[in-house]
C-alpha cells in the first residue's frame, strides 16, 4: 500500500470518528439542555457550561499534546510527530475559539460583563495567541525540515511558558469560578449535571481525535503531493 | 583547539556584532530615538485629570523597553542574513552554544545601553524621584532584560528565516514577555511607592525563575535551530 493510500484510509477513519464525536456531542448537549436540572441561581445561562467546559478540555488536551509532540520531534526527528503537532495545534485553536466565544456569552448575564481580565481568561487568551503564532510561523516557513524544527522549538517553549503565564496573571488577580468538577471539598457538581458534562467531554475528546486524524491525513497527502511535484521536476 | 572554547566564541561573536554596531550606530540611534518617542507619546496617552504621572509611569517604562528592545533583537540575526553570513558562521568549528551566547551577550549590551540612557530620561519626564531606590530598580531591569533577551534572541534566530521577520518577531515574542514584563511593572510601582522589600520577593523570584528556566531552555534549543 502506498503512502498516499494509507493517508486516504486514515482520513476515512478520521471521518468516521468525527461523525461519532458529532453525534455524541449532539446527544450530550440535548441531555444537558433538556434533561439536566436548571441551576438555581444562574438559570438557563448555566447550560452553556456543557459546551464551554468540554471545549476547554479539548483545547487543553490539544495544546498540551502539541507541546509534547514537539518535544518528541526534537528527540526522535520523526516527521509524523511534526505533522501531528501541527494538526493538534490547529484543532486546538478551533476549540479555543469555541471556548473564547461561549465564555463571554455566559459572562454577560452572570458577571455583567463580556470580558474581564481574570486569571483564567487572560492566560487562555495568551495561550490562544501563542498557538495562533505557532501556526503563523509554520505558514511563513516553506522548507519542510526548517519548518518542523522551528515549530517544534516554539512548541516546547510554549509548553513551558503556559504555567508561567498562569502564575503571573493569577497573582495579578482572579475572579473565575473555582473548579467544581474535581473539587473534593464543599459544594461539588451534582451527578445530574456532572453526567451530561462528562458525556460532552467524552464527545469533544472523540471529536478532537477525529479532527486531528483527518488533519494529519491531509498533511501527509500534501506532503506526498509535494514530493511528487519535486520528483516530477527533477 | 583552545581558541574555540564556548566562552571565546561567545566573546568573538559579541565583539563582532558590537563592533559592526559601533561603526554604523544606526540601530542604536534609532532604538534610542524610538525609546524617547514612546516615553513622550505615552505621557499624553491618558486623561491627565484622572490618571497621575505616578500611575502611568511603570507601564510606560516597560512598554518603552519592550518596544525598543524589539528593534535591537531583529537586528541581531538580520545582519547575519546579508551575504548569507550565518552559513559562514555555521561552517566554522565554533559551537552553536558559543554563537548563541555571543548573540545574547551582544543583545544584552545593546538593550542595556538603551535602557541606561532612557532610564534617567524617564525619571525626568515622569518626575519620579526614585534615585535612592535606583539599585533595586536596576536589579529588576537587569533580571527582566536577561529573560527578555534570552527568549528574544532564540526567536529572532527563527523568524529571520521567514519572509516577514519584522512582523513575526513581536507576534511570537510578546506572549513570552507576559511573565517578565508583568513582574517588572509590578515590581517597579512597588519600588516607586517605597513598599517594603517583603512585598517584592514574590515577583522577584518569579522573574528569577523565568530567567533561569528560559535561559537554559533557549541554550538547549538553539542547537536545533542552527544545525541543519
pLDDT in tens, B82-128: 778 888 888 888 888 899 999 999 999 999 999 999 999 999 999 88
Cβ separation of B179 and A164 shorter than 8 Å?
yes
Q: Best mutation site among B150, B210, B224, B227 for testing chain A: the one with the most A CBs within 10 Å?
A: B224
Structural domain harbouring A125: 10-36+46-175+194-227
Burial class of A120 by CB neighbour count within 10 A (0 to 12, 13 to 18, 19+)? middle
Query: Could you tell me if residue A99 is inside a domain?
Result: yes
Report yes or no: B41 at the A interface, CB cutoff 8 Å: no
Whether residue A159 lies inside any domain: the answer is yes
Q: Point out the residue among A126, A133, A156 whose CB comes nearest to the CB of B171.
A: A133
Task: Decide if A41 is inside a domain.
Answer: no
Select from A140, A164, A167 the Cβ nearest to the Cβ of B164.
A140
Query: Considering only alpha carbons, which residue of chain B is nearest residue A131?
Result: B172
- pTM here? 0.88
Domain that includes residue B92, residue range:
2-226
Q: Enumerate long-range contacts of A41-45, CB under 8 Å, 24 or more apart.
A: A42/A109, A42/A110, A45/A106, A45/A109, A45/A110
Give the confidence band of A189 by pLDDT, cuts at 50, 70, 90.
confident
Tell whether A198 is covered by a domain.
yes
Q: Which residue shows C-alpha cell 524621584?
A: B129
CA dihedral sign, ordered B2, B5, B9, B11:
negative
Looking up cell 483527518 gives A214
Residues 63-122 of B with CB under 8 A from A: none
Q: Is residue A182 a part of any domain in this protein?
A: no
CA–CA gap between residue A153 and residue A138 (Å, rounded):
12
Number of domains in chain B: 1
Predicted-assembly ipTM surpassing the 0.85 threshold: yes
The pLDDT, as a whole number, for residue B1 is 46
C-alpha distance from A139 to closest chain B C-alpha (Å): 9
Q: What percent of chain B has pLDDT over 70?
A: 98
Q: Does B213 touch chain A (CB under 8 A)?
A: yes
- Ranges A39-48, A145-154, B162-171, B179-188: which has the least confidence: A39-48
Question: What distance, in Å, lies between the first and last C-alpha atoms of chain A?
Answer: 25
pLDDT band at residue B176 using 50, 70 and 90 as cut-offs: very high
Measure in Å the smallest separation between the Cα of A137 and chain B Cα atoms. 7
- With respect to residue A155, please indicate whether it lies within any of the assigned structural domains: yes
Chain centre distance of CA B1: 33
Amino acid at each position: 500500500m502506498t503512502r498516499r493510500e494509507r493517508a486516504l484510509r486514515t482520513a476515512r477513519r478520521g471521518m468516521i470518528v468525527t461523525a461519532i464525536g458529532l453525534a455524541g456531542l449532539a446527544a450530550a448537549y440535548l441531555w444537558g439542555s433538556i434533561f439536566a436540572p436548571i441551576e438555581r441561581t444562574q438559570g438557563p445561562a448555566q447550560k452553556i457550561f456543557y459546551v464551554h467546559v468540554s471545549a476547554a478540555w479539548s483545547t487543553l488536551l490539544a495544546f498540551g499534546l502539541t507541546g509534547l509532540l514537539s518535544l518528541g520531534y526534537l528527540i526522535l526527528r520523526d516527521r509524523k510527530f511534526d505533522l501531528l503537532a501541527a494538526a493538534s495545534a490547529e484543532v486546538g485553536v478551533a476549540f479555543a475559539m469555541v471556548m473564547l466565544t461561549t465564555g463571554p456569552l455566559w459572562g454577560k448575564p452572570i458577571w455583567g460583563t463580556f470580558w474581564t481580565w481574570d486569571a483564567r481568561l487572560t492566560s487562555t487568551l495568551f495561550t490562544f495567541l501563542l498557538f495562533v503564532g505557532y501556526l503563523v510561523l509554520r505558514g511563513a516557513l516553506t522548507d519542510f525540515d526548517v519548518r518542523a524544527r522551528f515549530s517544534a522549538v516554539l512548541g516546547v517553549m510554549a509548553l513551558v511558558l503556559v504555567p508561567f503565564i498562569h502564575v503571573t496573571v493569577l497573582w495579578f488577580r482572579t475572579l473565575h469560578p473555582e473548579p467544581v468538577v474535581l473539587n473534593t471539598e464543599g459544594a461539588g457538581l451534582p451527578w445530574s449535571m456532572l453526567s451530561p458534562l462528562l458525556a460532552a467531554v467524552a464527545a469533544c475528546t472523540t471529536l478532537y481525535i477525529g479532527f486531528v486524524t483527518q488533519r494529519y491525513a491531509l498533511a501527509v497527502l500534501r506532503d506526498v503531493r509535494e514530493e511528487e511535484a519535486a520528483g516530477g521536476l527533477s | 583547539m583552545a581558541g574555540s572554547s564556548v566562552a571565546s566564541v561567545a566573546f568573538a561573536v559579541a565583539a563582532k556584532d558590537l563592533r559592526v554596531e559601533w561603526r554604523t550606530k544606526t540601530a542604536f540611534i534609532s532604538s534610542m530615538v524610538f525609546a524617547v518617542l514612546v516615553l513622550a507619546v505615552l505621557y499624553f496617552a491618558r486623561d491627565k485629570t484622572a490618571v497621575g504621572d505616578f500611575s502611568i509611569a511603570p507601564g510606560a517604562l516597560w512598554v518603552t523597553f519592550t518596544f525598543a528592545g524589539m528593534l535591537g533583537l531583529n537586528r541581531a540575526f538580520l545582519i547575519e542574513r546579508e551575504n548569507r553570513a550565518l552559513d559562514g558562521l555555521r561552517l566554522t568549528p565554533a559551537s552553536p552554544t558559543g554563537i548563541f551566547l555571543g548573540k545574547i551577550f551582544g543583545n544584552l549590551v545593546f538593550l542595556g545601553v538603551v535602557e541606561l540612557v532612557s532610564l534617567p530620561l524617564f525619571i525626568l519626564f515622569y518626575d519620579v524621584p526614585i534615585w535612592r531606590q535606583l539599585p533595586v530598580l536596576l536589579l529588576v531591569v537587569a533580571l527582566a532584560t536577561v529573560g527578555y533577551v534570552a527568549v528574544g534572541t532564540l526567536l529572532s534566530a527563527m523568524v529571520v528565516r521567514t519572509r516577514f521577520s519584522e512582523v513575526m518577531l513581536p507576534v511570537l515574542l510578546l506572549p513570552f514577555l507576559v511573565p517578565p514584563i508583568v513582574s517588572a511593572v509590578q515590581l517597579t510601582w512597588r519600588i516607586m511607592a517605597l513598599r517594603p522589600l517583603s512585598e517584592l520577593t514574590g515577583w522577584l523570584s518569579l522573574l528569577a525563575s523565568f530567567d533561569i528556566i528560559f535561559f537554559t531552555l533557549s541554550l538547549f534549543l538553539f542547537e536545533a535551530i542552527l544545525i541543519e
